[in-house]
Amino acid sequence: MTTNQEPVPPTWFIREAMDGDEVLQLYVGMPHLFSIRLHHGGRLTKIPGRVYKGGKVNFVDMIDVDMFSVHEISDMLDELGYSVTDHIYYFFQNPEKDLDNGIEDLSSDQDVLNLSKHVEFHKIINVFTFHG
């Protein structure tokens, strides 16, 4: 027996900017929700003094860490106009480290679990894309 269930729409939404304090207000009493500061269309420079050059920044809010996967980032980039055929690498910044020492892969379920450890106390996670 097959069911014709429609895909569940994402609970997250993309925006251009918001004050950091406003974002924190969104998540009072919701330890499983967070935002991504999504850096896209640019590149990370080499260390020391690593920065993300070029590109744009968008914020993605109301992400449920229990439902989050790498595929969600692909959906976010699709919504921002990137082709699903583009080969794009994802990284996140450990919020307790700087860019020189805190860039971690975001390409597997294990990487998502590593990111999820930070969500309760860090409500905005930097995610960087690199187009290969």
pLDDT digits (tens, 9 = 90+) for 76-125: 999 999 987 778 999 999 999 999 999 999 999 999 999 999 999 999 99
| Dist. CA 63–CA 37, nearest whole Å | 12
Average pLDDT, the chain: 88
Q: Which two tokens stand for residue 76?
A: 């976010």
Which pLDDT band holds residue 22 (cuts at 50, 70, 90)?
A: confident
Q: What is the largest CA-CA distance in the chain?
A: 58
**Residue carrying the six token digits 């590149």:** 43
State the pLDDT at residue 44. 95
pLDDT digits (tens, 9 = 90+) for 37-46: 999 999 999 9
Quote the pTM value. Answer: 0.87
